[in-house]
Structure 1
Amino acid sequence: MNLITAPRGTFDLMPPQAIVWEWMESTIRKVFLSYGYGEIRTPIFEHTELFQRGIGETTDIVEKEMYTLVDKGGRSLTLRPEGTASVVRAYIEHKLYGQAPVAKLFYIGPMFRQERPQAGRFRQFHQFGVEMIGEKSPVADAEVIILAHDLYRQLGLTELEIHLNTVGCPACRQEYKAALTSALQAVADQLCPTCQQRLVRNPLRLLDCKSPVCQEVISRVPSIHHYLCADCRHHFDQVTTLLEKVGVKYKRSDKLVRGLDYYTRTVFEIINHDLGAQNALCGGGRYDGLVAECGGPAVPGVGFASGMERLYTTLEQKGKIPELPFGPQLYVLPLGEELNVVAFEIATVLRRQGFSVEMGNGAKSLKAQLKTAHKSGAGYAVIIGEEEWRERQVTLKTMADGSQKRLPASGLMEEIAELVSPRLIVPLREE
């Protein structure tokens, strides 16, 4: 019988990695909450039209990468390939625009894209991000960039590069598209086949091509900054001024456009060069027309998204993953099958007080149980022997040095509380 494995482009998170994952998620939530963002959880699949309208018909995501199915009712549904469109849909559907002038939301969850798996890129991946909807000021752009910057610093990453650009508004961007098309038509035969199609359908997407041949051609095209209208130029200048005021360094990247059609004005990425070709750890920008495009009011928005897998890889590369508790704090060892019930009772009481506890099997020898306890990483063993238990006593053994002491079972909780901190913040109460 053939072994069934995880589908290509997916992976299992085993317990040691899952603990790191939990630590990352906890840190992310704390930082987002400190900036006033509330968590939103949207469905894993949406109506396909949402992504077609929200992301853009000519993007690689919509054209090539979405997991789309038709349900029994004939409806076209798509596993979400990114988070912003779903958040905007929920913002409109629940009329958040009528509850407060500005909605500040964050999300963490799995996304899906059918693309070639490679380092830092999977078909099921996990993404977190923030969306600030309803604020047009450049202060919002700067806040989102600084939020990403501060989050990575909180996680221990201090040597990342912020790349910053503007793609203008629909008016000045149209003028730039015309100039870009004119400059590239004469050298269209030098472009890769995909970019030759982009030149006709969406010339700005050429700037995002990673082909070395296309990059060489694109390096000679004019910068969008020569075509910005006065408002867009002022907006970008204000964003850079705000970043400089709080000491956040950035690099202006005139060819940065991001891969989604909904961006307007500010776009940015945070780069980790150690990741190789797929080196963007985080990306985002302003999307002032997206809410209206999805059927809502004409309100502005700005946000960013980041991949959990790339974040994990970066933390691992930089040696920034902390030593996190894994395995039990205590191991309860009954010496004889008749003491299994006693051990079970003691283990349950300890667990209900918030301690992480495992229990041995009285059918096995003390030596075998201690070997298992050592492998588990438990700091202490509670040994229940027949002779001790007749006097309602137990032996508390320190696994690191082998020292042990005998004490009344009634004093066990007090003794352990002085040695070990409960892992649960709020222990279960006795019924």
Structure 2
Amino acid sequence: MPPITPKTFRGTRDFLPEVMVARSDLIDRIRGTFELYGFSPLETPAIEYMETLAGKYGDEGEKLLYKLAYKGGDVLALRYDLTIPLARVAAQNPNLPKPFKRYQIQPVWRADRPQIKQGRFREFYQCDVDIVGSDSLAADAEILAMTVETLTRLDIGPFTVRINHRELLAAIIRAAGIPDDALMTASRCLDKWDKIGAGGVRAEMENEGFDAAVIQRLLASVDEDPKESSLARMGKLESTVRKFGGSEGLEKMKEIFQLLEALGVDEKRIAFWPSLARGLDYYTGPIFETFHDDLPHMGSLTGGGRYDNLIGIFLGEQIPATGTTIGIDRILAALQQTNRLQMAPSKTQVFVAVFDEDSMRSACRLAGLVRRQGFRTEIAYGAQKLKRQFARADRQGIPVVLIQGPDEQKEKVVSVKRLESGDQVKIAEIDLVKYLKEILE
């Protein structure tokens, strides 16, 4: 039998330790911010019934579902996102506390065309945070505040969270002369603005049969001037949208900005964006996406909004909900492209060298001693030359090496070598833990 060629499916990846250490650190910081805002963890199965997922993502999203045929005729699918599974959980567990504040960090799958530079993959992780059971705009504002704080803590560089409101967007589209039965079509065209630009949106709308004058009015009304403040943008649209059912959406947008100010959110990080549409059909109120200011080609780093009708599909009654997704893989790609990612092949702090075969027991005793004090420790498994052991520790980014040869054992001391500086000192065994705390903590 010929050997099997090792390979991964296009759009999927292995994460070797150097990347995985950085990735795990990012996820830990994201999780810490979620919990700071009072959210609790949830996990759901990778496989859902097709009927659970079907019809929730629009025509474009439906094509990207990985469908699975199962014996007995059941049609299953890999989860496309974490929002629909949350809706199922909320409907399946009606006694959950309300509001139910959950976060979820798990992989999702999409039969998409991979674009590595843009951070687009077929298998990728999402970090979702949602509030189920509250229709208060304070819930939307808190999601936005938490998004800003999360990305600030990750130190991704300059970013802007763009926000809009579905009612306001509908009024803008109506004001351009587009009837209600074509609102979703126009909205989906606008949703591609960041990928294909104004010219591409114009071409898409022409292909959908919209009149050229209508297209021009719509594009002119949503074109953003980066020098304008969010309140100025809303002010320009106010008289127009009030005639076409957008008054409530406009007032809600103003209230969200007031709540964000009260929460202490940096106003430079939030912008009203009238062209923002969000392609998913289930959004009903505020919608939001985040873009890296220096990497516009990257696409959205986060995206979400209010979806008050989605959970009701499973229950037959309306349950309000709002939330967002943080794309860890795109954030990782953004950090790499801006040289902000600190890579390390290991999180180990201490390497215990073995001086000779007779010193193995002494090395094991040392390793146990420092591990019990909470230091992440690796031990050599054989008595190679010390120079080779130092080189191995250095390659793994381990800052400290401990050596206890026969002479040190007799004197009850340990030689501590700091690899970055090359300094080496002898420390009494009784003082070793104290010294390690001084240099490592």
Q: TM-score, normalised by structure 2?
A: 0.80
In 2: Cα distance, 1:96 partner to 1:130 partner: 20
1:8 aligned to which of 3, 7, 10: 10
The offset of 1:275, in angstroms, is 3.4
Distance 1:177 1:20, change over 3 A: farther
Alignment match, 1:25: 27
The offset of 1:410, in angstroms, is 5.0
Alignment match, 1:371: 391
The offset of 1:111, in angstroms, is 0.8
What does the per-residue CA deviation read over 1:152-206, in whole Å, with 9 as the maximum and x for residues that have no partner? 1222246212222222299x779949952599xxxxxxxxxxxxxxx69844322
The offset of 1:71, in angstroms, is 1.8
In 2: Cα distance, 1:205 partner to 1:320 partner: 34
Alignment match, 2:70: 71
In 2: Cα distance, 1:381 partner to 1:419 partner: 12
Contact kept in structure 2, 1:169 and 1:264, CA below 8 Å = no
Contact kept in structure 1, 2:175 and 2:244, CA below 8 Å = no
Contact kept in structure 2, 1:161 and 1:272, CA below 8 Å = yes
The offset of 1:126, in angstroms, is 1.0
What does the per-residue CA deviation read over 1:18-56, in whole Å, with 9 as the maximum and x for residues that have no partner? 122122112212221222221211112211112214x24
The offset of 1:135, in angstroms, is 1.6
SS at match of 2:20: helix
Alignment match, 1:167: 166
Correspondence 1:380 to 2:400: yes
Correspondence 1:282 to 2:280: no
In 2: Cα distance, 1:17 partner to 1:135 partner: 38
SS at match of 1:148: helix
Distance 1:328 1:302, change over 3 A: closer
In 1: Cα distance, 2:354 partner to 2:157 partner: 50
Alignment match, 2:216: 220
Alignment match, 2:187: 204
In 2: Cα distance, 1:269 partner to 1:7 partner: 29
Contact kept in structure 1, 2:173 and 2:186, CA below 8 Å = no
Distance 1:350 1:200, change over 3 A: closer
Q: What amino acid sits opposite 1:117 in the alignment?
A: P
The offset of 1:244, in angstroms, is 5.3
Correspondence 1:156 to 2:155: yes
Gaps of 5+ in 1: 184-198, 422-431
The offset of 1:110, in angstroms, is 0.7
Alignment match, 2:226: none
SS at match of 1:122: coil
Alignment match, 1:337: 357
Alignment match, 1:236: 253
Q: What amino acid sits opposite 2:106 in the alignment?
A: G
What does the per-residue CA deviation read over 1:361-385, in whole Å, with 9 as the maximum and x for residues that have no partner? 4442333333333433333322232
Q: What amino acid sits opposite 1:20 in the alignment?
A: A
Distance 1:369 1:231, change over 3 A: closer
In 2: Cα distance, 1:174 partner to 1:52 partner: 29
Contact kept in structure 1, 2:67 and 2:75, CA below 8 Å = yes
2:110 aligned to which of 101, 109, 113: 113
In 2: Cα distance, 1:174 partner to 1:95 partner: 37
In 2: Cα distance, 1:82 partner to 1:276 partner: 23
Q: What amino acid sits opposite 1:205 in the alignment?
A: R
What does the per-residue CA deviation read over 1:51-85, in whole Å, with 9 as the maximum and x for residues that have no partner? 214x24x33111x1011102223221111111111
Alignment match, 2:52: 50
In 2: Cα distance, 1:412 partner to 1:8 partner: 50
Alignment match, 1:427: none
Alignment match, 1:425: none
Distance 1:341 1:267, change over 3 A: same
What does the per-residue CA deviation read over 1:229-272, in whole Å, with 9 as the maximum and x for residues that have no partner? 54334323322443456552443333321121100121121112
Gaps of 5+ in 2: 206-214, 222-239
Aligned identity (percent) is: 28
The offset of 1:94, in angstroms, is 1.5
Contact kept in structure 2, 1:380 and 1:398, CA below 8 Å = yes
Q: What amino acid sits opposite 1:294 in the alignment?
A: F
Alignment match, 2:231: none
The offset of 1:228, in angstroms, is 2.4
2:368 aligned to which of 334, 348, 354: 348
In 2: Cα distance, 1:229 partner to 1:400 partner: 62
Correspondence 1:40 to 2:42: yes
In 1: Cα distance, 2:184 partner to 2:394 partner: 64
Aligned residues: 400
Q: What is the alpha-carbon root mean square deviation over aligned residues?
A: 3.2
In 2: Cα distance, 1:237 partner to 1:410 partner: 63
Distance 1:95 1:394, change over 3 A: same
The offset of 1:391, in angstroms, is 5.3
Comparing 388-397 and 135-144, the one that deviates more: 388-397
In 2: Cα distance, 1:229 partner to 1:37 partner: 32
Q: Taking CA–CA contacts closer than 8 Å with sequence separation of 6 or more, which of the two structures ends up with the larger relative contact order? A: 2
Alignment match, 2:415: 395
Correspondence 1:264 to 2:264: no
Alignment match, 1:187: none
